[in-house]
Every structure is written in structure tokens, then in C-alpha cells.
Structure 1
Amino acid sequence: MHIINLGSDAESMIQQAARLLVEGFQEHWPNAWPDMDSALEEVQAFFSTDRIIRVAVDETGLVWGWIGGIQQYDGNVWELHPLVVRSEYRGRGIGKLLVADLQEQVRERGGLTLWLGTDDENQMTSLAGIDLYPDVIEQITNIKNLRCHPYEFYQKCGFVIVGVMPDANGLGKPDIFMAKRVQR
């Protein structure tokens, strides 16, 4: 397996990347990319100078996973969006390799910070299903992972929780903001 840029002419890999979005998010975030049209539109949006799209592929051209980066704040900050790994390859370190690769890509472009939002629409953490407003900071400080929410994966990759947007996806459905410095 190796990680490469996804080119706009690599039709088979583009189709695979789109299919991964539909399949990879359908259980916990079914409205993210509910069909191939929306997923293809998302992949196509990455063929722009202010974006990065990297794919983990094997020697046969099978896409194992992919990651995107979106330039913000004049290139000082980049958003990690999205990250998806083929279900049968999860837990093998591919996601961590993709994150590390994106971090290097951002560093090479002069970026200082990599950030992401990781929604909790299904009460996967202790931040969901409650009113966060009485004491948002206290709730973040005492966050608990109730059902394999990906925020702990990102913590293992060096990200820290820098905030939360209560009710971002509806009442009691927050978006958890995480970030890390990428410059040494």
C-alpha cells in the first residue's frame, strides 16, 4: 500500500473514493453522502488548488482509504475533511498513515494547524443528548466515549479537543472541534 495524490483523470479511483464515502458514513452519518451523486460531487470538489486529496492504494489500484484537506485562513490552517477507510481494512493503521501524510502535505504548504469537526449525531459521546450550554467547558473536560466515537482515534493522532458547537446537527447533536499544530 502507498499513499498518492488522486488525479482528476483517475476515474476508477474517483468512483472507489466516492463509494467509500457512501459506505463509510452510512451507519452513523447517513445524511453526509447518502448516494453516489453527492459523494462524486464531494470528491470532484477536491480537484482544486486550495484542497488536497490523498488516497491509500494497493498495487492493483484498489483504494483502501482516502483523506482530504481544505485550505483556510490564508493557508495557515487546513481542515481535515473527510477521512474514510474501507471497512475491511480498518484497525490496521491506514487511517493514522493517511492523517500523518496529510499533516506532512499541510506542513510542506506552510500550514501551521490542522483541524477537524467530528459530529456526534447518535449519542456516541457524553456530549450528545444533553444541553451543553450550562457549562460547555466542564462537559468537554469530562467527555466520555460511549460507543466508539472517532474523537479518540484523532486524539491518538495528536489532536486535542479545542471546542464544541452545541446543537450543530440538531438539538443535542454537537460537532466536536479538534486541532493540532503541524509545524515543528
Structure 2
Amino acid sequence: MQIIDLSPDDENIVRQLAGWLVEQWPNSWPDIKSGLQEVRESLEEDRISRVAVDETGSVLGWIGGIRQYNGNVWELHPLIVNKTCRGRGIGSALVADLEARVRERAGLTIWVGTDDEENQTTLSGVNLYPNLWENITEIKNLAAHPYEFYQKCGFTIVGVMPDANGLGKPDIYMAKPVGKK
């Protein structure tokens, strides 16, 4: 496996990634047009867009980074691994590669918002406001929510936006330091 910059000239890969977005997150990218727009936006200045490819050039996964806070902080957006390749360390390798790219740019922190729209955690389907931090502290993964993947990559839950995706559907904010301490 090799991780390389996504090239705007590789229309086949751009289209494949757009299709993955539509398939994986139809609420966010309901059609190929919106998926293509997202992939092309990932190629803009002050962004990082990297793909993992195998020895034949087939795409295994994709990760992006968005520069924020004058480059001190970068948002990890998006991360997606081909369904047939999950569980083989590709996502972790893409996250480590993004960390290296952010460090090269003198970034200090990477953050990610990991939505819970499908009742995958104990933060979903409840009113989080009365006991927000208690709920965060006692979070449980009910159905393979990706927050545990990010924890394994060194991220920490730093907050939650209740009802971000509708009533009882929060966005879980996670962050990781990557700069020199």
C-alpha cells in the first residue's frame, strides 16, 4: 500500500470517491453531483487530500484535512475506506499520514466530528443538555460507531454538539495533538 496526493487529473478516482460518499453518507451527499463537489473541494488550497492505493493503483481509502485556526488546527474530513478493505489498518495508516502532513505544515491539533445519526452510541436519542459531561464520560458504543476507532488512533472526545443532525442525533467532537509539545 502507498499513500499519495489525490490528483485532480485522475477523474476515475475522483468519481470513485464521490460514489463512495453517496453510498456511505446519503444524508450528506444524496447524489453524485454533490459527491463530486465534495471531492473537488478537497483539492483546494489549504486542504490535504490523500488516497491509499494498492500495487495495481486501485484505491483503498481516502482522507482529507481542512486548515483552520490559521493552520494551528486541522479538521479531519473525510475518512473513508473501501468496504471490502476495512479492518486491515488502512484507516489507521491514512490517519497517521494525515498527522505527518499536518506536522509538516506546523499544525498542532487535528479534530474530527463523528456524527451519531443511527443510534450507535448512548449519546444518541437522549437529551444531553442536563448531564452533558456525565453522558460523555459514560459513553458506550452500541453498534460499531467509529468513535472507538478514533480513540485507538489517539483521539480524545473533547465535546459533543447535541442535536447537530436532528433531535437526539449528536456530533461527537474528538481531537488529537500532533504538534511539538
Aligned to 1:17: 17
Distance in 2 (alpha carbons) for counterparts of 1:154 and 1:90: 14
Q: 2:115 aligns with which of 83, 106, 119?
A: 119
In the TM superposition, structure 1's runs of 4+ consecutive aligned residues that sit over 2 Å from their partners are: none
Aligned to 1:63: 59
- Give the deviation of 1:60 after TM superposition: 2.3
1:10-62 Cα offsets, whole Å, 9 max, x none, are 1111112112212233xxxx302122111100000012111000000123221
TM-score relative to the length of structure 2: 0.97
Distance in 2 (alpha carbons) for counterparts of 1:128 and 1:138: 14
TM-score relative to the length of structure 1: 0.95
Matched-pair contact (CA < 8 Å) for 1:56–1:64: yes
Aligned to 2:156: 160
How many residues were matched structurally?
180
Matched-pair contact (CA < 8 Å) for 1:24–1:85: no
Aligned to 2:170: 174
Distance in 2 (alpha carbons) for counterparts of 1:144 and 1:170: 20
SS in structure 2 of the partner of residue 15 of structure 1: helix
SS in structure 2 of the partner of residue 83 of structure 1: strand
Residue pairs, 1:44-59, within 5 angstroms = 44-59=40-55
Percent identity over paired residues: 66
Residue pairs, 1:63-102, within 5 angstroms = 63-102=59-98
Q: Which amino acid aligns with 1:182?
A: V
Structure 1 segments unaligned to the other structure (5+ residues): none
Matched-pair contact (CA < 8 Å) for 1:53–1:66: yes
- Are 1:40 and 2:36 counterparts? yes
Aligned to 1:105: 101
Distance in 2 (alpha carbons) for counterparts of 1:83 and 1:16: 14
Q: CA RMSD in A?
A: 0.9
Aligned to 2:136: 140
Residue pairs, 1:22-33, within 5 angstroms = 22-25=22-25, 30-33=26-29
Structure 2 segments unaligned to the other structure (5+ residues): none
